[in-house]
Structure 1
Amino acid sequence: MSPRLPARLVALLPEGRVLPDDVWHRRHRIVLTVAAAQAVALGFLALALGEGAAAAMMETAAVLYPLAFALLPGAGRTLRAGAATLSLLAASVLLVYLMDGQTEAHFHFFVVIGLVSLYQHWVPFGVALLVVVLHHGVLGTLLPHSVFGHSAAHQDPWTWAGIHAAFVLAASLTHLAAWRLNEQQGLRDPLTGLANRTLLMETTDRLLIRTSGEVSMLFLDLDDFKDVNDSRGHAAGDMLLAEIARRLSSCVRPSDQVARIGGDEFAVVVSGGPEIATAIGQRMLVALADPMVIEGRPHVPHVSIGAASTTSSPERDAGVLLRNADLAMYMAKALGKNRLVHYADGMAQAAEEKVRLLEDLAGAVAGGQLRVHYQPTIRLSDGRTTGYEALLRWEHPQRGLVPPGEFIPLAEEGGLIVEIGRWVLEQAVQQAVAWSAEAGEPVEMAVNLSPRQLADDDVVATVRDVLTASGLPAGQLTLEVTEGVLVHDIDAVIDQLQALRRLGVRIAIDDFGTGYSSLSYLRRLPADIIKIDQSFVQDLDAGGRSTTLVASIIELARSLRLSVVAEGVETSQQSAVLTELACSHAQGYLFGRPQAAGSESLPAAPDDPAELFAH
């Protein structure tokens, strides 16, 4: 026999899911009512068949007696269900006795087995099968006339006990199959076939009860999944989820369970501690790193994973494990996404603060708490200001100035960035119009565009409407996007950027060199400017390896006829190296910190660039 056969047979059996309290009590009341009614009915039947009143009362009491245990205050489900089952079976035995073993009376056993299967619990089901076998086999041998109603069975009771048992077993298997199928209803995600939240929690509870060892939970959330649905449609999103489910399932052991618990949320219960959970989580990150072909287009999904184990909490509870893993997942997103983070003390408090901050951010625009600061862009050849970059700031009424790195990702996650981004665009464009009028010459303005805004189908219309309302020529506006937009759908990104360029605005690739883009993608992107990330610029002081890299980026941009802006220039030496490398423009504290526009007019370019924007 194959060693896997017993395991497969066990897998076909019901798992013994715990029914919800309201469902169990409703079914239990039905069983009690039937048991009490048939006890009284059998008493009247005994009287009708010539039994004495005393005998009839004793027989009725014998059927009713087990129900007393089912009604005990504080009794658990197992005792109540077992007692009710014994009452039902006592009625079956009494009915067969009163009917002198007639075959038709045995049908009552089949009814009882079907009735107690409503409990979906092994104890009453097992009691029913045991009593049936003992009654037909043992009692059928000792008192065959009280069990069987024909002479053949009287002469060979065990043979007929076996025949009856076979029919009882067949009926039992039917109820077991129905029980198993009933357990599976509503427990599987229809799209992926994975377990759903209900089954995950039940599996976790059973694992926590069955073992005293460590149990862990992984909570996975796809990064920027909404952008996939928005740009490529829900059908493509469903295909992506199904493929992700397949890959996640390939990363776990047979003892673990993967579940889809939300739109783009998955969870995994792991039999083991943090080390095992980490190994499985890292396998999942690697498995998802390979591009997936969705409707003929490649896509690389990123996922943030939170992990929690019973070692990090004194409570061995499935709900606590899932909550802690969820909190750790949010920390993974806050740290840059596409990574695994373990739960630690204090994360719950941090999550509460994050929720409060998101609530405050929702009213920041209407409350006049948001500010736009402007940082100049300098032409290195003559030190003159050629334009400004609009940078968002939040002046919280209690917390003061909230760092952009803290609230902008929050606005992305909370879906507020589209509204806020439009407000920033309007403010920046209006300021560019005012400064242009003061200076008597065009002043260029750069505004950052988030991946969520770029995925919004209305972004082109929004930019067009803002330009029309303000009167700013489109050529004076630059929209900056980070390389992060490339991880979603490169073809959709290109389409959107091309539509924006057709309005006449310019496109800049921000933080170039730190993200996903490659030289082949850069050639395809409809870009006008690349901005060298400040991490490379800061290394220029020491003459490090970044000098060669920056020189290569500048040469590449020149070959593609793109302008170059170096970010984060803080020292004269960095400025000198960039000038020597023929970098055309720069930004940084050396030339001016981001500041509010104020009431003063646009400054003229000074002789000393360090004095620029000092007001």
Structure 2
Amino acid sequence: LANRRYFLQQAQVALSRHGAGRCVVVMIDVDHFKRVNDQQGHQAGDAALQAVASHLQASVRPQDLLARFGGDEFVALLTDVTAEHALDVVTRIPDVRHLAGAAGKLSLSVGWALHGDTLDELLAHADVALYAAKAAGRGRAVAAHQRPDESAPLTVAPHAAVPPATGPYGPAAPVPHGATSTGAAPDGPAGVLAVPAPSVQIPAARSAGGRVVGGARALRHAIEHDQLTLHYQPKITAADGSVHGVEALVRWVHPQHGLRYPDAFLPQVEALGLMPALTDRVLAMALDQLRAWEADGLPALSAAVNLSGSGVSDLVLATRVQQALADRGLPGSRLIVEVTEQRLVEDLAGAGEALGELRRHGVRVSLDNFGSGVSSLTCLRDLPIDELKPDRALVAPVVDDARSAALVQGTIGFAHAVGLPMVAQGVEDLATAEQLTRFGCDVLQGYALARPMPAGQVAHWLHERAVLA
């Protein structure tokens, strides 16, 4: 097969000859390919990739351009083609059940695009569709559609029937909440499963200065190739000043733009369906760090990890969390998941079931930004919550504003009345810390006590506290 460089050169020539309106870009990714290498070895992995490549060559015409784009990803340019023919091609691609060996137990996710003025646009749109296919459960094809209004966001929609998982390398993700399994596709082969994916709007990931800092490929690369790092902000027990635990805060060490904070990339991570992968990566990094600190003789800390977006209702998450804890020999009590009430109210029933599973494994649940939504009491009544963490906007004016002070004091009393500890975030000065302590707040977190810091600085910070104590 052609390589990435050759594809980009020849695709540019083809687009100039045929026009972007008569060309379709198809991105193909081998789902869970790493499992083949891990379980059967690289020789089996190479054989599987060769079988997939042969399958793809048989799926396109001789005049089409097919290349290995990198690793377990392929790309095709269908030239001088109608949408109907493109649909016929991408419908066939995901089904690899006829392949021998490990390849026949794999599945392929496909994203394709036929709207775009340039090769870069076609590739970007196909990339978005590819990750939407993965978010919808993998092993399926999704098309990207650009609305006539160029300012409108890109949307993606399913257009191909796909095979169900048939073996250990098939799609591991369930049909997402809200999607429906419709059985045999009307126009597809017998026994083929069709699963519609929801439309997705893709916001751009931007730097603090408003510059775009990455697309789907860049974000996936960041998650899979150690461009993410965690900073840890200590939480302090108000009564005695002891370290209660830490909150793990994700950062993206972007190769061009440097350290990026979550608000610069999390919206796009969520929209692209990459949040489960990001959550798993952050969880693994945080738990590994707990083990490393313990091996260095530091106290057995707990770590809080933010659970965002669709992960709040992800029933499979509890299984993944339990496995991650077991792999490291850590009890569930060492982990806290923080969820915002804005996300919870979107699906109270689903969130309650998913969070309940986590708690059965000993993981604690913190209700973050409590008081910022419209259903705080409903969340407390219907969901398994272990602690309250009020919105920082409620905490900030507690010293200077009598009404805010009364609200915070009342919230602390309310939390204690229902048997929940209170964690105050956004404690920016010592006066606020002292006031909250007088009110009976249980745990304090904020710049007045400790800023978020890399893992290595946490050890130094803990050592200094021990010496001063």
The alignment's TM-score, normalised by the length of structure 2, stands at 0.56
Q: 1:479 to 1:551 in 2, by over 3 A?
A: same
1:108-152 Cα distance to aligned partner (Å, 9 max, x none): xxxxxxxxxxxxxxxxxxxxxxxxxxxxxxxxxxxxxxxxxxxxx
Q: Which residue of 1 aligns with 2:368?
A: 510
Contact kept in structure 2, 1:438 and 1:601, CA below 8 Å = no
- For residues 228 and 218 of structure 1, the distance between their equivalents in structure 2, rounded to whole angstroms, comes to 30
What are the ranges of 5 or more consecutive residues in structure 1 without an aligned counterpart? 1-21, 23-196, 205-215, 237-261, 266-303, 305-325, 335-349
- For residues 353 and 255 of structure 2, the distance between their equivalents in structure 1, rounded to whole angstroms, comes to 41
Q: How does 1:181-330 map to 2 (within 5 A)?
A: 230-234=176-180, 264=198, 330=203
- Which one has a larger percent helix, Structure 1 or Structure 2? 1
1:592 alignment partner, SS class: coil
Contact kept in structure 2, 1:486 and 1:517, CA below 8 Å = no
- Asked if 1:564 is matched to 2:441, the reply is no
How far off its partner does 1:494 sit? 0.4
Q: Which residue of 2 aligns with 1:373?
A: 231
Q: What is the percent sequence identity of the aligned residues?
A: 34
1:231 alignment partner, SS class: coil
2:427 alignment partner, SS class: coil
Letter in 2 for 1:395: V
Q: Which residue of 2 aligns with 1:6?
A: none
Q: Which residue of 2 aligns with 1:212?
A: none
- For residues 228 and 578 of structure 1, the distance between their equivalents in structure 2, rounded to whole angstroms, comes to 44
Contact kept in structure 1, 2:348 and 2:382, CA below 8 Å = no
What are the ranges of 5 or more consecutive residues in structure 2 without an aligned counterpart? 1-21, 23-143, 157-172, 183-195
- For residues 228 and 430 of structure 1, the distance between their equivalents in structure 2, rounded to whole angstroms, comes to 27
1:347-373 Cα distance to aligned partner (Å, 9 max, x none): xxx7xx648444322211333221111
2:422 alignment partner, SS class: strand
Structure of higher RCO (CA pairs closer than 8 Å, 6+ residues apart): 2
Q: How does 1:366-405 map to 2 (within 5 A)?
A: 366-405=224-263
The counterpart of 1:581, out of the listed 439, 442, 452, is: 439
Q: How does 1:450-599 map to 2 (within 5 A)?
A: 450-598=308-456
Q: 1:560 to 1:593 in 2, by over 3 A?
A: same
Q: 1:603 to 1:511 in 2, by over 3 A?
A: same
Letter in 2 for 1:470: R
- For residues 401 and 464 of structure 2, the distance between their equivalents in structure 1, rounded to whole angstroms, comes to 29
How far off its partner does 1:235 sit? 7.5
- For residues 218 and 420 of structure 1, the distance between their equivalents in structure 2, rounded to whole angstroms, comes to 27
Q: 1:218 to 1:233 in 2, by over 3 A?
A: closer
Q: 1:493 to 1:605 in 2, by over 3 A?
A: farther
Q: How does 1:40-119 map to 2 (within 5 A)?
A: none
Contact kept in structure 2, 1:373 and 1:391, CA below 8 Å = yes
Contact kept in structure 1, 2:153 and 2:203, CA below 8 Å = no
- For residues 583 and 519 of structure 1, the distance between their equivalents in structure 2, rounded to whole angstroms, comes to 19
- Aligned Cα root-mean-square deviation (Å): 3.8
- For residues 418 and 264 of structure 1, the distance between their equivalents in structure 2, rounded to whole angstroms, comes to 17
- For residues 152 and 255 of structure 2, the distance between their equivalents in structure 1, rounded to whole angstroms, comes to 37
- For residues 329 and 197 of structure 2, the distance between their equivalents in structure 1, rounded to whole angstroms, comes to 42
How far off its partner does 1:602 sit? 6.7
Q: Which residue of 1 aligns with 2:264?
A: 406
How far off its partner does 1:510 sit? 1.0
1:490-541 Cα distance to aligned partner (Å, 9 max, x none): 1111011111100011111111111243313212210101111211111113
How far off its partner does 1:221 sit? 8.0
- For residues 426 and 542 of structure 1, the distance between their equivalents in structure 2, rounded to whole angstroms, comes to 41
Letter in 2 for 1:517: S
1:360-396 Cα distance to aligned partner (Å, 9 max, x none): 2221133322111111000111111111111101111
Q: 1:386 to 1:438 in 2, by over 3 A?
A: farther
Greater than 6 Å deviation, 4+ residue runs: 216-222
Aligned length: 295
- For residues 550 and 514 of structure 1, the distance between their equivalents in structure 2, rounded to whole angstroms, comes to 13
1:426-461 Cα distance to aligned partner (Å, 9 max, x none): 111121123234446431111111122233332011
The alignment's TM-score, normalised by the length of structure 1, stands at 0.43
Q: 1:219 to 1:597 in 2, by over 3 A?
A: closer
- For residues 355 and 534 of structure 1, the distance between their equivalents in structure 2, rounded to whole angstroms, comes to 28
Q: Larger radius of gyration, structure 1 or 2?
A: 1
Letter in 2 for 1:230: P
- Which one has a larger percent strand, Structure 1 or Structure 2? 2
Q: Indicate the larger mover: 360-369 or 388-397.
A: 360-369
